[in-house]
């Protein structure tokens, strides 16, 4: 176990574990538990004994569900279950009211439950590389959201209420099926990074240049028309180096 300035962490990453050792759940003062890159298909229900846990990293395993007892981890602020085999967001997550970061990337989610809006403290929500065709209305309630990763899904647009996420500083909707930049983006005045790579965009709206805090705009791998490319060049000229604009189709 290693001790850092803000937590005690047990690191069991990459050890080919098929189950969590029983002794782990007896470590009552544990603040961080790193079990990523193993062969876990389930977690012990006794994990709820880790009442002080703030950080639980489970990425790159073979989990198809989480035990209900996860909901007893009331102090949890960070939960990473990316690159597992989840087909639905486990209901126990609804009870984790202190979550700041929820990483669900690389699973088999086709939608998100409406109750996700109950996680009022969320700052980062990552649902990249799933099978979403829409974003649930309840995400509108996540007023503290700063980073939203929706890349690698099947979205054709974003709902207008996305513009109500006033704290959003990074929006990644790359590798979807967008044919135009969603108009709601115009309302995101605190946006610093906008990633639109790998969609079906042919041009950009003029209002992109009105996003005063924008510093990174990635529109690579889109089929821009000649006029669309001209608008990109005009935007580059307007911003005069204040915004990093990535538009070449040659690089990732």
**How far apart (Å, rounded) are the C-alpha atoms in residues 81 and 142?**
20
Torsion of CA 234, 239, 241, 242, to 10 degrees: -150
Mean pLDDT of the chain: 93
**pLDDT at residue number 246:** 82
User: pLDDT per residue over 7-66, tens digit each?
Assistant: 499 999 999 999 999 999 999 999 999 999 999 999 999 999 999 999 999 999 999 999
Helices (H), 46-156: none
Q: How far apart are CA 170 and CA 83, in angstroms?
A: 21
Going by C-beta distance under 8 Å and a sequence separation of 6 or more, which residues neighbour residue 210? 186
Q: Is the pLDDT of residue 5 over 50?
A: no
- The verdict on pTM exceeding 0.85 is yes
Say what the pLDDT of residue 6 is: 43
**Angle subtended at Cα 98 by Cα 151 and Cα 15, rounded to the nearest 5 degrees:** 65
Reported as a single tens digit per residue, the pLDDT across 239-250 is 777 788 887 643
What gap in Å lies between CA 52 and CA 98, rounded to an integer?
Answer: 12
Centre a 10 Å sphere on the Cβ of residue 236 and count the other Cβ atoms it contains: 16
User: What domains are there in the chain, each with its CATH number?
Assistant: 1-108 (3.80.10.10), 150-252 (3.80.10.10)
pLDDT for the residue 247: 77
pLDDT tens, position by position, 117-171:
999 999 999 999 999 999 999 999 999 999 999 999 999 999 999 999 999 999 9
């Amino acid at each position: 176990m290693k001790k850092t300035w803000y937590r005690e962490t047990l690191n069991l990453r990459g050890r080919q574990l098929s189950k969590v050792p029983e002794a782990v759940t007896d470590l009552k003062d544990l603040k961080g538990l790193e079990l990523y890159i193993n062969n876990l298909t389930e977690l012990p229900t006794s994990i709820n004994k880790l009442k002080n846990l703030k950080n639980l990293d489970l990425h790159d395993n073979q989990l198809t569900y989480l035990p209900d007892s996860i909901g007893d981890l009331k102090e949890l602020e960070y939960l990473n279950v990316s690159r597992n085999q989840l087909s639905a967001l486990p209901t126990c997550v609804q009870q984790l009211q202190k979550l700041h970061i929820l990483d669900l990337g690389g699973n088999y989610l086709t939608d998100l439950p409406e109750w996700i809006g109950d996680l009022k403290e969320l700052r980062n929500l990552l649902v990249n590389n799933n099978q979403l065709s829409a974003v649930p209305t309840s995400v509108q309630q996540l007023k503290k959201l700063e980073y939203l990763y929706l890349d690698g899904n099947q979205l054709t647009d974003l709902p207008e209420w996305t513009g109500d996420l006033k704290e959003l500083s990074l929006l990644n909707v790359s590798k979807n099926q967008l044919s135009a930049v969603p108009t709601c983006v115009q309302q995101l005045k605190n946006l610093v990074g906008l990633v639109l790579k790998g969609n079906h965009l042919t041009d950009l709206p003029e209002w992109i240049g009105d996003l005063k805090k924008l510093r990174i705009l990635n529109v690579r791998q889109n089929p821009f028309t000649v006029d669309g490319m001209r608008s990109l060049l005009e935007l580059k000229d307007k911003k005069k180096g204040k915004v990093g604009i990535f538009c070449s189709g040659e690089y990732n």
